[in-house]
Amino acid sequence: MHIEGATALVTGGNRGIGEAFVRALLEAGAATVFVGARDPAQAAHLADEAPGRAIPIKLDVTVPDHIAAAAALGGDVSILINNAGAFHHTTLMTAPDLNAARDEMEVNYFGPLALARAFAPILARNGGGAIVNVLSSGGMVAVPTMGGYSPSKFAGRAATTCIRAELAGQKTQVTALIVGSVDTRMAAHVAGYKEPPSDIAKAGLNAIRRGIDELDTDRMAIEVRASLARDPKALERSMAKMLTAAAITTGR
């Protein structure tokens, strides 16, 4: 899969890992990058950096009309980066209601699924293309401090596997990008070392180029997978301990 000359769409492209994806795609020679943003004005800086190549579009991934409009505009898209994500810092038993957990499912699971469904025929017409779903170590191991978020990323990972199987016939490469802890607004509450967003984007582009189904992008993601294989019960206990920890830290 070639990035040079391709047209891409990045959801949640205005900041954080999404913004890094936009820049990495442009640097790699993508012809056009649609920058999905709830407020396109928040992506204006990227349009300024790459006039005519980075194109902000209004895209709340929970709004079907926005998704339909993106698909109508993005007939040339061959790379879809499902990056937009929500994390509401709630726990399942103590949250006052289910609103946060429902929203995390809407943004982190139904949103990418709806985008994949809308763009699958477009990707097929454009030779197969690639979908990258930006997931989380919290979708590999259940993290009680991430009550609604962690289950939504588990669902996202399962859906990624199903979508890969369904779209194999049309030669669409579908990647689960497993991300640990990254220095963005979403992880502002986390102490310790956090990866630069640009490294995550680079790993994502490598996965596209090399046709990798599931990629751990950073050390935390690799460590979580190793711990899960070694002693899942010990990992579960260490995740539970975070509920009473004074602070959340990457430990480095």
Whole-angstrom distance, CA of residue 146 vs CA of residue 240: 11
Report the b/e string of 23-51 with b at 16+ CB within 10 A.
Answer: bbbbebebebbbbbbbebeebeebbeebe
250 lies in the site for ligand NAP, by CB under 6 A: no
Q: For ligand NAP, which stretch binds (CB under 6 A), given 37-45, 92-100, 121-129, 208-216?
A: 37-45
Binding span for ligand NAP by CB under 6 A among 24-32, 38-46, 70-78, 222-230: 38-46
Choose, by CB under 6 A, the member of 9, 16, 54, 90 that binds ligand NAP: 16
Distance of alpha carbon 151 from alpha carbon 141, whole angstroms: 9
Q: In what order do the strands lie in the sheet with 173-179?
A: 54-58, 32-37, 7-10, 77-82, 130-136, 173-179, 214-216
Measured from the CB atom, the residue of 126 and 215 that comes closer to ligand NAP is 215
Shortest distance, CB of residue 62 to ligand NAP, whole angstroms? 5
Closest CB 194 distance from ligand NAP, rounded Å: 6
Amino acid (1-letter code) at residue 238: S
User: CB of 181: closest distance to ligand NAP in angstroms?
Assistant: 4
Smallest gap from residue 84 Cβ to ligand NAP (A): 3
Residue 40, helix vs strand vs coil? helix
Please give the size of the binding site for ligand NAP, defined by CB under 6 A.
Answer: 28
Chain center to CA of 204 = 10
Q: Which residue is at the shortest CB distance from ligand NAP?
A: 16
| Chosen residue from 27, 53, 62, 199 binding ligand NAP by CB under 6 A | 62
Q: Which is nearer to ligand NAP, 1 or 187 (CB)?
A: 187
If the CB atoms of residues 107 and 122 are measured against ligand NAP, the closer one turns out to be 107
Using CB under 6 A as the criterion, what x/- string covers residues 120-159 for binding ligand NAP?
Answer: --------------x-x-----------------------
DSSP 39: S
- Tell me the DSSP string of 70-109: HHHH-TTEEEEEE---------TTTSSSSHHHHHHHIIII
Would you say 129 or 148 has its CB closer to ligand NAP? Answer: 148
Token pair 């913004």 in the structure block, residue: 19
Say whether residue 83 binds ligand NAP (CB under 6 A): yes
CB atoms < 10 A from the CB of 172, how many? 24
Task: Point out which residues bind ligand NAP (CB under 6 A).
Answer: 11-12, 14-18, 38-39, 42, 59-62, 83-86, 107, 134, 136, 179, 181-182, 184-187
